[in-house]
A and B are shown apart, each in its own frame.
Chain A
């Protein structure tokens, strides 16, 4: 007689797969990747290539020879980490720096904890922060060569807008004077710029990815929205108190990787809270810490640190912020 399956219900399964979710995030990052390659040229492309190759290799080797399990490359999580890491690096990063970042991200931040789903901190951000602390000059101040895509343009040397502001403020200039010296117009920041990590090239490209993720229901909007609102509110208050000392909220939102962090880094499933209440606290925490670091701290930008610090609170947030259960409040 024909053999039939016996198993408990449910007998149907949805179409969602881990692989597909990872792929969706990668798809959402494509506009940002293309824009960064457009503005920064072949050097950006090489950062992507080195990051992807190293991340996949490290994941494969550790999984195969240390954990001794089946290869996990095909779940696309390592590929996603590689792309996020690349987007968090300046286009001029030397190859060896990218390799170090990738080894730290996958090898230390992810696989040490047991691989996908077990890491406490966002792997790409751990990679970035290790590089930021180890090679601060390379990470924040660099030279952008003319690329094949920008024929005729001169080589550009610069710091990030936030870095410039911090430097110039220290010299005693006011925000108004600084903005006269540099082109920090809203449109310049929104459409595309070259002074920053690759992922910061265009705010618009990142927002496009955000909408894709929302439409595909890959992420929920709580975390990005609370981060952006908190940063806008906090910097808005400071700006209102003294516009000569503090930059305006829009400037803060469009620089220093806020969008990249809020949309793609802070929403990482594994390292973010699982319930809306926790997500809101998480987002507010990231916003507040980011502004504190930027305005009062030693580093010009603070999103990476803020996300990593809040990553550490996630188990606690999951434990104390329970979803509102069905039938918890008796409605009469």
Chain B
């Protein structure tokens, strides 16, 4: 029996049309635009200047404080400028532009494909290495990994959960990583288990990825304490709280941390990055990105250097097809529609998705018929219709009483609403306001 989370969820068609395409290295960009704010927390501080020559893997942005992450050069060449630039969603952040010259790496990085499975470093050293290499959560949230691996005092993790659910339709980057870099991923998990001092690691994979399940089950026999958990296909299975609920049947308390129920969740992509950082000395400079969509003639999984402009990915699949109505960075449920095609690939990027008008069109909004489908599908069991109504009326106190802050913005409510009411648009807006009010209290 496959496991799943206990409340809500929807079943969009998974459309994993790029699942059987192997990961291929993507050509270097002519100019890489590397943002200093690719993670949750304080942006990094630039440590290079215009005119400096940098090599691949060199530190160019230093973490500012604990909740922040280092940023490294993903190409070698001359720093052209350090200036604010738009990201894919149109937000400005300080960005370092590097004009590519050759592909010169800093010393000490092991670029061979030889697997180094022998773990020599003790836990604190592993975390230090992860911090240095600027690893962040690659499932999309980009929370600095070293922070997650250092639970607050008094709290102790009992297990590590590797997130290979990849519940978003279309996305196949995690799937390909598990199939092609399975051993690296599990070694990365073992490193994190040592850092957390836990003996147990669960790998949660949705049942629509049989190859990855097979590979991980075979490998797990060689990795002590590692257990593959097959999950039902249901969105948002890969949500942190949902995954914990599905695998160890514990609900993370409202406003609490996963570690409150003894779990630390890391994406399989993060595990690969951790492996490369600790065992191979390689900072986070590239990312596996799925380029997919039904209008495309070819589906691709690329390993792309961070800072590569999205337009280059678009060109690589033959430009934007005629009937494309929307470009999405990430999955169709939580990804962001792309406003600037010159914006660069960042640590958070997981897919470039082409959607037709038919697939993505929002239908005109009708009156709420109080069917409560939004409540039924909400994985946090919030009353979305009520939050929408209260939000419209700016009734912040009641929004807080009805736990708007618990919303994980998965979009199930809007997906399931028969009246096409933009529930999440409103909730997202008002959640920010309520969190601000709560913070100022």
Contact = CB atoms under 8 A, between A and B. Distances in A.
Interface of A: 2, 4-14, 16-18, 20-21, 75, 77, 115-118, 220, 269-270, 272, 274-275, 318, 322-332
B12 A14 contact: yes
B280 interface: no
Interface-centre pick from A13, A17, A331 (highest chain B CB count, 10 A): A13
Interface of B: 6-7, 10, 12, 169, 241, 245, 249-254, 256, 260-261, 320, 322, 324-328, 332-339, 353, 355, 357, 359-363, 366-373, 375-376, 379-383, 385-386, 402-403, 406, 409, 411, 414-420, 424-425, 428
Contact of A117 (B169, B324, B368, B386): B368
B325 A274 contact: no
Contacts of A17: 363, 418, 420
A12 B360 contact: yes
Given A12-B359, A326-B379, 6 more contacts: A6-B337, A13-B420, A14-B416, A322-B383, A323-B383, A325-B382
Contacts of A118: 367
Contacts of B10: 14
A13 B379 contact: no
Contacts of A324: 381
- Which secondary structure characterizes the binding site on chain B? loop
A213 to B, nearest CB: 12
B360 A5 contact: yes
B406 A325 contact: yes
Contact of A4 (B326, B361, B380, B417): B326
B412 to A, nearest CB: 8
Given A5-B326, A331-B249, A325 B334 contact: no
Nearest to B366: A18
Contacts of B411: 9-10
Specify which of A7, A12, A16, A117 lies most central, judged by the most chain B CB atoms within 10 Å of its CB. Answer: A12
A327 B417 contact: no
A329 B416 CA distance: 26
Nearest to B408: A326
A115 B367 contact: yes
Given A269-B371, A326-B251, A328-B254, A9 B333 contact: yes
A2 B403 contact: no
B403 A330 contact: no
Contacts of A318: 386
B369 A116 contact: yes
A18 B369 contact: yes
Nearest to A12: B332
A177 B260 CA distance: 69
Given A14-B10, A16-B418, A330-B253, A7 B362 contact: yes
A12 B335 CA distance: 11
Contacts of A14: 10, 12, 415-417
Contacts of B418: 16-18, 20-21
A117 B336 CA distance: 32
Contacts of B322: 2
A327 B241 contact: yes
Nearest to A326: B380
Contacts of A270: 369-370
Given A5-B337, A6-B339, A8-B428, A274 B253 contact: no
B320 A275 contact: no
Given A11-B328, A16-B416, A269-B370, A326 B169 contact: no
Contacts of A75: 366
A269 B424 contact: no
Contact of A323 (B12, B254, B375): B375
Nearest to A330: B253
Given A20-B418, A117-B370, A323-B383, A274 B375 contact: yes
* Residue of A11, A77, A118, A329 most packed against chain B (CB within 10 A): A11
Contacts of B382: 325
A18 B373 CA distance: 11
A14 B417 CA distance: 8
Contacts of A16: 373, 416-418
B274 to A, nearest CB: 28
